[in-house]
Amino acid sequence: MTRDYPHLKFVRHWQVTAAATYELGQCDAIIQGISNTPLLPDYHQKLLRVSLTKGAQATTAIEGNTLSEEEIQQVAAGESLPPSKEYQQIEVKNILDAFNSLLSEVTKTDHVERISPDLLKRFHAMIGKDLGPHFDAIPGQFRTDNRTVGPYRAPDFEDVPELVERMCTWLVEEFHFDKGQTFAESVTQAIVTHVYIEWIHPFGDGNGRTGRLAEFYILLRAGNPDIASHILSNFYNETRAEYYRQIDNAFRKQELTDFIEYAAQGLRDGLLKTLKTIQQNQFDITWRKLIYDKFAEKKYRKKTVYARQRSLALAIPMNGPLKLEQIASISTDVAKLYATLSERTLRRDLEMLVEMGLLVQIEDKFIANTTVLQSQVPQQRAWRRGQLTDRPQSARST
């Protein structure tokens, strides 16, 4: 029989506030938008690499790893860092390998399973692999001593196996994993599981990384897109002081309402950022398609002029007006195209693109005429658009 730990209730000791309900509903809708947007294979792989890199950096940085995003990209590419950073490199590689392994299981083979003591031990073994003395635990094994983290005294080690077993049984019952979960239930389970692992502290080291990996896994099996798999770890790292404050607050109050609301808002904001990124990519693709269509409609006597003007149109960025001299050197390809031609030729080509409706001239500057696409974006009634920015009041302020 375990000792009594008042914060480990194994009952629903939280409310999903109006604000959290709103955020979770938006998360579900945004995920549908992301999942139903086709991406070119190369761009999808680029976004996935960014997601895994950011996720690995975030979850290890919270624990003190100081590798930069660029260094983590080197690790992901199979490169070696200096010997002084070897253990940090192994920490990050372990997370990246864990992410990739779980992604493969869930998205390629459709293998998912309930959270169990064995699964958590497997997660822990993944993150602690080959770390030697830099990992104060035996990978994949519960601790056999008592631990404190700052002022927090973790449950006695003798109680850990039963506490973990009780947690896993309760999670299945509370969140209906075997009967089919709603997305909101899955997100709430991911957040609750993360915090409970922190509180039980079943391992000597690596509990935070194990908890966040479990959170990653639950969200992934619930349908969170692979390119958005980094969001919560990244959010916790970016708001690290608040992350620790929320965990401490939940412990002191012995309930999880505020932490769930905090995490749900971070997930929603991160998903929205991801959606905007892929929408911008779709906009870029559509813009390029419009350029090709416009040139396909036009008759040219010289193919070299046709190809040069089209290449120039494709090279003009969509983020601001440029002067003539800036355009001449906007890229290596454009510089080569006009290296032996006069400024007059470049100006004439730009005027042709203005005539075709692809550019707009503002005094002595030129800008891509993307308004021709923006005007075709499906419109909503103004009150409906405004609704998206109005969040319900938090239960904490009512």
pLDDT per position in the chain (398 positions), as tens? Answer: 578 899 999 999 999 999 999 999 999 999 999 999 999 999 999 999 999 999 999 999 999 999 999 999 999 999 999 999 999 999 999 999 999 999 999 988 889 999 999 999 999 999 999 999 999 999 999 999 999 998 999 999 999 999 999 999 999 999 988 777 888 999 999 999 999 999 999 999 999 999 999 999 999 999 899 999 899 999 999 999 999 999 999 999 999 999 999 999 999 999 999 999 999 999 999 999 999 999 998 887 788 999 999 999 999 998 889 999 999 999 999 999 999 999 999 999 999 999 999 999 999 999 999 887 877 666 544 434 444 444 555 544 43
The CATH classification of domain 18-278, taken from the options 1.10.3290.10, 1.10.10.10, 3.40.1010.10, 3.40.47.10 = 1.10.3290.10
User: What is the residue extent of each domain of the chain?
Assistant: 18-278, 298-374
Q: State the Cα–Cα distance between residues 264 and 21, nearest whole angstrom.
A: 9
pTM value surpassing 0.85: yes
CB count in 10 Å sphere of residue 40 = 11
Is residue 263 within 8 Å of residue 247, measured between CB atoms? no
The CATH classification of domain 298-374, taken from the options 1.10.10.10, 3.40.50.300, 1.10.3720.10, 3.30.1330.10 = 1.10.10.10
Task: Provide the pLDDT for residue 61.
Answer: 97
Task: Provide the pLDDT for residue 1.
Answer: 58
Describe the crossing of helices 117-128 and 207-221 by its angle, rounded to 10 degrees.
120
Task: Provide the pLDDT for residue 393.
Answer: 54
- Residue 209's nearest CA partner among 198, 199, 221, 200 is 198
Q: Which tokens belong to 70?
A: 């660029």
Task: Provide the pLDDT for residue 319.
Answer: 82
In a 13 Å sphere around the CA of 371, the CA atoms on its Cβ side amount to: 6
Residue 362 φ/ψ, nearest 5 degrees = -120, 100
Q: State the Cα–Cα distance between residues 210 and 202, nearest whole angstrom.
A: 10
Residue 368 φ/ψ, nearest 5 degrees = -60, 135
β-strand pairing of 322-323 with 152-153: unpaired
Task: Provide the pLDDT for residue 56.
Answer: 96
In a 13 Å sphere around the CA of 46, the CA atoms on its Cβ side amount to: 9
Is residue 99 within 8 Å of residue 55, measured between CB atoms? yes
- Residue 63's nearest CA partner among 314, 293, 233, 317 is 233
Describe the crossing of helices 183-200 and 18-35 by its angle, rounded to 10 degrees.
110
